[in-house]
Structure 1
Amino acid sequence: MTTQRRTLLSAVGALAGTAGCLRLSGEETATTGDGMAGSDAAGASTAATDETGTATGDGAATASEPSFPPYVSEDGTRDGLADVHRSVLWRTSYELDFRIVDLNEGRVQHAWRTRHEDGRAAKSLQDGSRLHAFYDDADEGPYWRQDVGDGYTYGQARVHAMTQEKLLTETRWVEGFLKAGDWSSAELREDGLARVTAPGVEWPKSLPNWFPVREVREFEGELLVRESGTVAALTVEFEFETNRVEDVQRRRVELRTRDLGAVSVPTPDWLGTARERAPTASVSLAEDASAIVVEQTDGNPMRPGTKVVLYDRRNRRNAGTTELDDPVEPGGRLYLSFDGDGDGARLTRDPPTADDVAHPIEGEYDLWCRRGPFEYFGVAHVPRPRLAPRDPQPPATPGPSEQ
């Protein structure tokens, strides 16, 4: 590791309150600070002991001989470990910390903490945005609240029940990195955890699509797995090229789980207010297909700084992200159109004129208005443009056999 890289890692650690904890090491399993609080080594070791203990005839508990978790052996990991992590973790209570560190800029890019109990979960962003969400199986998606300084704003994202289980256990990240890395070496530690390392990448296209990866230059990972198959810790650091010229990015992803079976999730006192004030909206297409029309129908105002995202389903890419400069209240409308300048969809508060529109809306789109990772009213599907009626055709002249 170069001196420059060591200095950068130390700077990032100090920024997040975890100085010295960003290097990969078999001995480095505890992480402290705002983003990743608590002793992961202690929590993971306790959980492993609890899961492997056996009762003797006199009632005393003795630890059985540790063994590799499912889908883990001396040769590394196999497909299926991510599913075991999800299903076992979801059946108990736990606390999970997750964060992405931008090593180019020396800052924590995204961070959140999830506490889960019996299908209910509380998620708090750890990035200073003061945004908290609450998941309940009785709801179609999490309600959330954000402190915006002069009050609170509320919303409800939409998450399918099956997706919610993968989301709250961060299984998509576990699965993506396990498939991408060359996890070819594993050992059993004295605390009962299996330690698996990946010195390189094997299937780079399996990396989570969060990152705009064109080519992976470096990849290094460490995985700690309990005997039950749940991931106690996952740390991946990788360097990649993007589609931009000479743009090389370096990221570090960290996941920690702890306190299995010992977490409670009370209902927040703001949930009733969130259910009353979460906005609703209608999304339609202008009659001439010149613009997508978003009309807020109920709920608290959508605050300035909200991202309005248009997603092209046909080409599977972002078709434009714009930001609200002013609040939108019930009865207010937003118009999204394409003006041909190449910057994606254009957002206006008034209907666009014919001179403003380069071409009508075609294809299939989804739209959402979000704060942080949470939408105000979920993801709305934009109705497809109606096909123009065909010119009437004259009736066919009967042939000789039909006369």
Structure 2
Amino acid sequence: MTTGSQTAVSSATATEQEQTTAQPDEPEFPMGLSENGATQLLYSAHVQALLQTSFHVEWSKLDLTNSDLRWQKEYQADVGQALGSWTRQNGGPVRIFRQGSEAYWREELGDRTTYGKDNEGFQIGKVAWSVEIQKLLEAFSWGAPELVSESPAVWQIEATGIETPSAVPGHMEGEVLDLTAGAMTVTADGVIRTSEATYKVRRLDGQELRVSSQYTVDSLGEVTVDAPSWLPTARENAPTIEASLTDDRRFVRFEVVAGNRLEPGSRITVFADDQQTKTVVPLEQALEPGVVAYLYRDGEMATGVARGRIERGSVPSDVSPTPFEKSYNVTAFRTTNNYCERVPVSE
């Protein structure tokens, strides 16, 4: 009996030692990662996780060829709403509040402030920079994940080459030419915590640019977002516009009928309803409310975009522009943000 007891004790001791010395299992990959690299589910897993919590996100993008900072933005986001901030190139500090289907912004321009209503409310892709991060995942092939931290679990993936040259990140059209470096870190919840990439693209106009981007998500579950104090002022001052075709459809009669003026450096865009063509009219001078302006084409179509011009007060008599032959709508932009909603252009 004693021998049997000793044998049982020895067996139990050996089992405990084996359990103590055995290596712990590695955490399972989060959704979107596999032993072969990143899958098509990684970005969707990333944004689905962000939709369930609050967070802070910050990103920047540098045109290395021209030493030009293209973007530097950040958002504080809570479920269904976000407050963004950045400084526009050739402009001033911007704040934007996105909630539900609405988004209002303000920009400080020295001695004045301009306001607008963006056409995209709270969309997780806008807040989580989908035009860059999702396109990076599509454009490049990604190597096997490496577990770089166990508590908390963090994996790193590195870009190994070009997968889809036409998937150009960041509001660009053309193709990716080469990859210098690219890496992302992903936590167990599926959130892409960091992204860094440097690559070269050729735009449709033939210009070649080398760019780098950085992206960071942090403070998950720790952020609170409240409507800013300036929101009622933005609602009141965001422009309202009217537009119609005139003079045998050669011109678009355009007017800001309420709200603040359109600032210099902005643009008015006339979109064909089929989304195939547009006419872009840059504003070198402010367009004040109540001033009737006439927009017209002044240049050949290039990749679906025509250069446009503006004449204030009356239809110009010394031009013969190409008529607007389709159905259209028109809006005004302050760089990438709308001043106002699109309105149909009627005769």
TM-score band (shorter)?
A: 0.7 to 0.9
User: Once the two structures are aligned, what percentage of the paired residues are identical?
Assistant: 24
Counting only pairs closer than 5 Å after superposition, residues 238-249 of structure 1 correspond to structure 2 as 238-244=199-205, 247-249=207-209
Counterpart residue number, 1:204: 165
Structure-to-structure mapping, 1:252-263, within 5 angstroms: 252-263=212-223
2:129 to 170, 174, 182: 170
1:320 to 277, 280, 283: 280
For structure 1, list consecutive stretches of 5 or more residues without a partner in the other structure.
Answer: 1-62, 386-403
Aligned mates of 1:259, 1:209 — CA distance in 2 = 25
State the partner residue of 1:282: 242
| Change over 3 Å in CA distance of 1:322–1:123 after alignment to 2 | same
Q: Residue in 1 aligned with 2:331?
A: 368
- Larger displacement relative to structure 2 (210-219 or 121-130): 210-219
Alignment of 1:126-165 (within 5 A): 126-127=87-88, 129-137=92-100, 140-159=101-120, 164-165=123-124
**CA 1:258 to 1:151, structure 2 compared with 1: closer, same or farther past 3 Å?**
same
Aligned length: 316
Amino acid across the alignment from 1:302? L
Cα deviation, residue 199, structure 1 = 2.0
Deviation, structure 1 residue 310: 3.5
**Residue number among 180, 202, 223 corresponding to 2:139 in the alignment:** 180
TM-score normalized by the length of structure 1: 0.72
Report the AA paired with residue 36 of structure 2: D
Alignment of 1:4-403 (within 5 A): 66-127=27-88, 129-137=92-100, 140-159=101-120, 164-191=123-150, 192-208=153-169, 210-214=171-175, 216-218=177-179, 220-244=181-205, 247-286=207-246, 288-312=248-272, 314=274, 316=276, 318-329=278-289, 331-340=290-299, 344-353=307-316, 355-383=318-346
Q: What code does the residue aligned with 1:296 have?
A: V
Are the aligned partners of 1:102 and 1:252 in contact in 2 as well (CA < 8 Å)? yes
The CA distance in 1 between the partners of 2:262 and 2:155, in whole Å, is 47
Query: Which amino acid is 1:135 matched to?
Result: R
Q: CA deviation at 1:339?
A: 3.5
Contact 1:218-1:240 at 8 Å conserved across structures? no
**Structure holding more strand per residue:** 2
Name the SS of the counterpart of 2:142 in structure 1: coil
What TM-score comes out, normalization by structure 2 length?
Answer: 0.82
Contact 1:338 1:357 in 2 (8 A): no
Output the amino acid matched with 1:100.
K
2 CA distance for matches of 1:175 and 1:95?
18
Q: Secondary structure at the match of 1:104?
A: coil
Q: State the SS of the aligned residue for 1:268.
A: coil
1:354 Cα deviation after fit: 5.3
RMSD: 2.5
Q: Secondary structure, in 3 states, of the residue corresponding to 2:279?
A: strand
